[in-house]
Amino acid sequence: MQRQFSVFLLRWALNSLGLWIAVRIFGDGYNDQALQAGFWAFVLAGLIFSLVNAVLRPLLIILSLPAILLTLGLFTLVVNGIMVYISLALAPHLHMTFGYSILTGIVLSLINYIVSSVLELRYVKSRRNNS
């Protein structure tokens, strides 16, 4: 349980960082209030994204399974974009167009993939050393 919570906290921090990077790169995500809220706006957006990703993404993947199979998995990019778009719509002071949300979803997917790989390698190493 403690491991799962620490993984969630790590993902939350990296999702916040990834959203900040993506909004900076792809722009159109700031207004005057967001510049003042800055750090906390992205921490909140990262939390919202982590929760939306954990709750809604599995359901959306199941519902869009025919499209995912038909496009050989490319539709998952759209699903990731929908997750980012919903998250930023719920987050105060941040907004992004749907096209940029898809690109942001790609950035966040890469970050989550790298984190998952590193955490899995560490877990396997620690299990092997304890045996």
List the domain boundaries for the chain.
2-130
pLDDT at residue 69, rounded to an integer: 96
Distances (CA, A) of 113 to 70, 71, 97: 23, 21, 24
- Model pLDDT, residue 10: 85
Q: How many CB atoms lie within 10 A of CB 84?
A: 29
Of 49-53, 98-102, 126-130, which gets the smallest average pLDDT?
126-130
At residue 91, the pLDDT reads 87
